[in-house]
Amino acid sequence: MAKKAAAKSATKAKSGSSAAKKSAPKAKAPVAKKAKAAKPAGETDLVRRIAGKKVPLNSKVGDFGAGDTLGVYVKVREGDKERVQLYKGVCIKVQGEGATKTFTVRKISAGVGVERTFPYRSPSVDRVEVIARGKVRRAKLYFLRSLKGKAARLASEMVGLVDTSIPVESAETPAPVAPAAE
């Protein structure tokens, strides 16, 4: 029984000493801070500076949005020759702003869906033509990836087509004539 009493007093002494440790903070030796390497002036946020620069807008890229059928004329270099190749498909998204603005065009080639992303301000894009305006209610048309055949079609309006068989009336409409008072 004497052993149990001795063990209890030893545990009390240990717990009392740990409480004393908690209440009396140790004096720590001061730690010297590492000196930061000095950056040359003007090199902070290099990416933001470059992205924020005013890059000349490609004037041949028109106004379009998701759902529009586009014809993108891309400059292709083969050896020392350069030619322009048409990439025709549906714009499934427009994203970004400023110098990082891009658009993605999806087409079906030999039964396989192909998507290609073009920067708005790319020198490799010769011009972009809007072939048809799609009627969509989404900004990103990712659901087209899972659709096949006729199900992947979008309701659209053809752009730039004029039916010459219908006579065009003048824009001015005659004002309605009021009945004469007798």
Q: Which residue has the higher pLDDT, 137 or 25?
A: 137
Listed in order, strand segments (DSSP E) in the chain are: 69-78, 81-95, 102-109, 112-119, 125-134, 156-158
Measured CA to CA, the distance from residue 12 to residue 56 in angstroms comes to: 79
Tell me, what's the pLDDT at 90?
Answer: 92
Mean pLDDT of 82-105: 90
Q: What are phi and psi of 82, to 5 degrees?
A: -130, 135
Range of weakest confidence among 90-104, 125-139, 166-180 = 166-180
**What pLDDT, on a 0 to 100 scale, did the predictor assign at position 13?**
57
Per-residue model confidence as pLDDT tens digits over 39-89: 555 556 776 676 666 656 666 677 888 889 999 999 999 999 999 999 999
Taking 60 as the threshold, does the pLDDT of residue 154 lie above it? yes
- Give CATH for domain 55-147: 2.30.30.790
pLDDT, tens digit, 9 for 90 and up, residues 107-133: 988 888 899 999 988 888 989 999 988
Question: What is the rounded distance in angstroms from the CA atom of residue 50 to the CA atom of residue 43?
Answer: 11
- How do the domains of the chain map onto residue ranges? 55-147
* pLDDT of 175 higher than 70: no
Query: What is the pLDDT confidence band of residue 6, given thresholds at 50, 70 and 90?
Result: low
pTM above 0.85, yes or no: no
